[in-house]
Amino acid sequence: MQRVDLSIVIPALDEEKSISELHLLITKSLDKKNINYEVIFVDDGSTDSTWNEIEKIINYNKKVKGIKFKKNYGKSDALDAAFKNSSGDFILTMDADLQDDPYEIYKLLEIIKNKKFDLVSGWKKKRNDPLGKTIPSKFFNYVTRVFSGIHLNDFNCGIKIYRREVIESIDLYGEMHRYIPLIAKWNGYNFIGEKVVNHNKRKFGKTKFGMERYVRGFLDLLSVSFVYRFKHRPMHFFGSLGVLFFLVGFVSVGLITYEKISKISQNIPLDLIRPVTDQPLFYVALVSIIIGVQLFLVGFLSELIIQINSDKKRYKIDKTKNV
């Protein structure tokens, strides 16, 4: 695969009316610059003519590549597929709905190159979206900022640019595309920048936004925190918890045994000593030991699953063109 300076990655879902205009704006903004670039459109299971529009563009512009999913897998999988088929030293992501301004592409590229950032995120400081979208987004960004310790104002901004090595260190799924800066930081890429970008009003179609995205996003924030700390060593988590529960059970058994032996040594009649099975602590000990063993086995099985599924893809590509 021949290397280029910049790969522009654009996931699209039912954006047949915007694809052609977006392509035109990208070429206008970059063709006069001294940049060797490629554009990768990913049709994420569209039900309209999005793929037909992508094919038309590819037929006369060999800088454009296309990937078509068999069904809608979500933005993270669309980005992941494009990343794996990209060849740029820098990789820029943007949305297909024309709200991200293509004239920001060159500015972001200059910033990441000249200031040596690992990644630069756009910030839609002035958003052309309804309050029902902006207010939940601000709250979500605040929670993510506090949780992650990364001082970005807009984790949800679609337009971001990365060095290739950052992208190659990341595996996306679920709604984790919004947490790429967090994942990058955990992978050792700490030099993260931000640039205020122009945000246009939606021109065609309707937003894919829904409150369920924030619910899934919050759950994925918890998930990514766990997975990226323990994905290569789940036994460290489950095994530690297992040992803790087992020790609680073992110590409880020891206390029960000591108590009974102590009373017997004091010549207390057996019929006056409460049976072990009548003591709540006995069941606490039994349950703790069982949970401890189960957690240890979960850790062991997780290690096996990671080894088996390390290279397994989650999505199926229906068609590609010029890839």
For the segment 106-151, what is each residue's pLDDT rounded down to a tens digit?
999 999 999 989 999 999 887 766 666 666 677 777 777 877 778 8
Distance, CA of 113 to CA of 94 (rounded, Å): 18
What are the φ and ψ backbone dihedral angles of 195, each rounded to 5 degrees?
-135, 135
Beta-strand pair 37-43/4-12: parallel
Distance, CA of 256 to CA of 275 (rounded, Å): 10
- The predicted model gives 180-185 an average pLDDT of 88
**Residue 122, C-beta contacts closer than 8 angstroms, at least 6 positions apart:** 100, 104, 108, 154, 157, 158, 159, 160, 194, 195, 196, 197
Distance, CA of 204 to CA of 246 (rounded, Å): 59
Read off the pTM: 0.72
Query: Which residue's structure tokens are 């992208």?
Result: 167
**What's the CATH class of domain 4-231?**
alpha beta
> Which pLDDT value is given to residue 103?
94
Q: Helices H, strands E: what count in the chain?
A: 10, 8
> Which pLDDT value is given to residue 141?
76
Q: Can you read off the two tokens belonging to residue 97? A: 């709905």
- Is 317 or 9 the better-scoring residue by pLDDT? 9
Number of Cβ within a 10 Å radius of residue 60: 7
Distance, CA of 64 to CA of 204 (rounded, Å): 22
